[in-house]
Amino acid sequence: MFRARDMLEHHKAAGRMDRESLVRCIEACYECAQTCAMCADACLAEDEVKRLARCIRLDLDCMDICVATGNALSRQVGVEPAIQRAQVEACMEACRVCADECDKHAKMHEHCRICSEMCDTCKNACKVLLGNLEAKAA
């Protein structure tokens, strides 16, 4: 269980952006990171590991980017909007690329299907947050 909502409610610096989309994005980032880690591990257990090398690599890259994004979004003091937007955009792209690759293996490997879905969920949460960030900047 994530506590982002609870923490933001009691954070003096929170409130500069739409709280609900921020919470959803933070939680989606961490859940996606965990899902990508497990997908990579599950791929390593498959007989045709070599065929899954790109999938494993993208799972691990996406995992790292999602963790970094969740961490950056969790910090509310001294936010630099340009960096925050760039981080969320990077996460969206990592999730898109990872989802596309996992989807190629989804018919044979259920873990890849699950990972692809989670990456899409995270990408969409990032997209909503990015829209709210851009609306605030305008």
Instruction: Kindly report each contact of residues 4-13 with a partner whose C-beta sits within 8 Å and lies 24 or more positions away, as own/partner.
Output: 4/74, 7/74, 8/76, 11/76, 13/76, 13/77
pLDDT for residue 17: 66
pLDDT at 132: 85
- Residue 19, pLDDT score: 80
Selected residue with higher pLDDT from 6 and 17: 17
How high is the pLDDT of residue 138? 58
- Minimal CA–CA distance to 127: which of 39, 30, 28? 28
What are the structural domains of the chain? Answer: 18-137 (1.20.1270.360)
Q: Please write the tens of the pLDDT for every residue from 32-91.
A: 999 999 999 999 999 999 999 999 999 999 999 999 999 999 887 777 889 999 999 999
CA dihedral 36, 124, 79, 1 (to 10 degrees): -50
Distance between CA atoms of residues 95 and 76, nearest Å: 24
**Of 79, 80, 34, whose CA–CA distance to 59 is shortest?**
34
Helix (H) or strand (E) holding 44: helix 19-44
Mean pLDDT of 125-138: 83
**Phi and psi at residue 23, in whole multiples of 5°?**
-60, -45
pLDDT band at 103 (very low <50, low <70, confident <90, very high): very high
Q: Which two tokens stand for residue 11?
A: 């954070």
Residue 133 near residue 16, CB atoms below 8 Å: no
Task: Please state the pTM of the whole predicted model.
Answer: 0.89
Whether the pLDDT of residue 13 is over 60: the answer is no
